[in-house]
Amino acid sequence: KGPTGKNFVPFGVGLVELADDTGPVLRVEGRLTENDPTKLQFGMDVELTMIPFTTDDDGNQVVTFAFQPI
């Protein structure tokens, strides 16, 4: 599912470390809202967001999660 061919838009993928006061808890590989590598750096803060993914057969928008720099 999702856009293909000329409708596909490249996206960044990153390893996001989720932590609490005790330190790292979980690492998640996920889509990034930013795909320009010059705007990304190791250790930068990101937040979870929802972005459009595709439209289903009934015309409803399907969303997915991504991480965006803050």
pLDDT tens digits for range 27-67: 999 999 998 999 999 999 999 999 999 899 999 999 999 99
Can you say how many angstroms the Cα of residue 41 is from the centroid of all Cα atoms in its chain? 15
Write out the residue range of the structural domain in which residue 19 sits: 5-69
Is the C-alpha dihedral spanning 60, 34, 66, 49 positive or negative? negative
Whether the predicted pLDDT of 10 surpasses 90: no
Whether the predicted pLDDT of 13 surpasses 90: yes
Q: How many domains does the chain have?
A: 1
SS3 for 60?
coil
63: tokens are 């969303």
pTM above 0.85, yes or no: no
- CA 62, CA 53: separation in Å to the nearest integer? 6
Is the C-alpha dihedral spanning 13, 14, 19, 24 positive or negative? positive
